[in-house]
Amino acid sequence: MAALAAVIALMLTLPGGGIALAQQGGDESPKLLTPGRQKSGGSVLELPATRRQDVEPQPVPELVPQQGQELEIPSRQLRSQLGYTQVTVTVTNPGGGYVTGLNKNDFRVYINGQERPVEFLRQDLNTPVSVGILVDTSGSMQPKIQQARAAIAQFLRDLNERDDVFLFAFSDRPFLLQPFTSDHSLVMSRLGLLHAYGRTALYDVILDGMLMVQRGRYDKKAILVVTDGMDTASHSSLNQDIAQARRMGVLVYSIGIGDPSASSSGMSLSLGPLIFGSGGDLERVDAETLKMLSNETGAKTFIIREIGDGEALRNSTAAISQELRQQYTVGFLSPDPEHGGYRNLRVEVPGHPGDTVRVRKGVTVGEGAESAAAR
């Protein structure tokens, strides 16, 4: 306690607490704006204007052919049909390997139990993706930040060079460190701004990430969340995140660092940007929430129980990058699209009975649906 008192006394002698300014790079860091303010030019960070569930996302840019291999997209006629929806499907064999080379006739799509024909199929071996990277920079991430930087750097190197990417840091609130860019070196250069302090606004940043990624240029969209904690600071709720995930075709991948079963009885003290203590929630990761969102969207969650296992962290990011290149995009027309709402989805490959199909749990049809391909 004497050491704690000394640290507190030192904090009180620093103007403005000192450490809060160190987040995102100290004296040379960009200024932090409050939500709703945006400023262009220089190195000022941009923040989302809002994260509320009932706010319409920004319009999705029109899809255009890219340089190199042409991006395969559904015809305008198909995309304009009411009820057209497309989803990302992952097929794996019993050994965990990815199954490629399937065609339209291999898939069966069911909406609320009613089979629908496959209208569009794309194998995403070289399909560019719009990707958002959301990195937890709360106080408990302090011993893991360096390894997180290294793993995300490797993730960026493994991406398709045409992928467009943005980078969020989050503690008490999200900070947009790098807006969408296909110049991955720009994102790399912002990783040095990741510094740990404060609490964890996990639900807020996931909601913001799903809204932000809708502005991406490609119809296939994903976010990667790297976190080690439980939500302690969000204004949003898990139910809002799930509702938003059901409206949007965004894959929510996550890497949780910590022990999901750690006791929450440990003592800790939060003072401004600092967190003191041991055990308890400082070592506990919300694996249940991460897995729920991944399962809802057809993605995957990786849990790294041993803190400091940098190799496992790098392997996890590499696995996610690889999976994005081994999937299918399946398009279909939902029945009775004039009657909007959420509907259960099931996709099967009956000719491959030993294989496993992973896809989002359902789709939202009609008003409120966010199908980028339909625009």
For the segment 132-180, what is each residue's pLDDT rounded down to a tens digit?
A: 999 999 999 999 999 999 999 999 999 999 999 999 999 999 999 999 9
Q: Which residues pair with 174 in a beta bridge?
A: 170
pLDDT tens, position by position, 252-295: 999 999 887 765 444 444 444 434 444 444 557 899 999 999 99
Q: What is the mean pLDDT of residues 17-46?
A: 35
* pLDDT given for residue 283 in this prediction: 59
Q: What is the mean pLDDT of residues 317-321?
A: 95
* pLDDT given for residue 1 in this prediction: 52
Integer angstrom CA distances of residue 324 from 68, 192, 365: 19, 26, 25
* pLDDT given for residue 155 in this prediction: 95
Distance CA 11, CA 205 (A): 28
Domain 127-324 sits in CATH at: 3.40.50.410
Kindly state the percentage of the chain with pLDDT values over 90.
65
Distance CA 148, CA 268 (A): 24
Residue 3 structure tokens? 């050491």
CATH 3.30.390 for domain 76-124+328-374? no
Q: What is the mean pLDDT of residues 49-66?
A: 40
Note the pTM of the prediction, 2 decimals. 0.79
Q: What is the mean pLDDT of residues 85-114?
A: 97
Mean pLDDT score across all residues of the chain: 80
* pLDDT given for residue 70 in this prediction: 65
Which of the pair, 355 or 65, is modelled with greater confidence?
355
pLDDT tens, position by position, 197-233: 999 999 999 999 999 999 999 999 999 999 998 999 9
Q: Where in the chain is the domain with CATH 3.40.50.410?
A: 127-324
Where are the extended beta strands (E) located within the chain? 84-92, 108-111, 114-116, 120-123, 130-136, 164-170, 174-181, 221-227, 250-257, 268-271, 274-277, 301-304, 328-333, 341-348, 356-358, 362-365
Integer angstrom CA distances of residue 195 from 103, 156, 178, 234, 304: 46, 19, 15, 19, 20
Q: Where in the chain is the domain with CATH 2.60.40?
A: 76-124+328-374
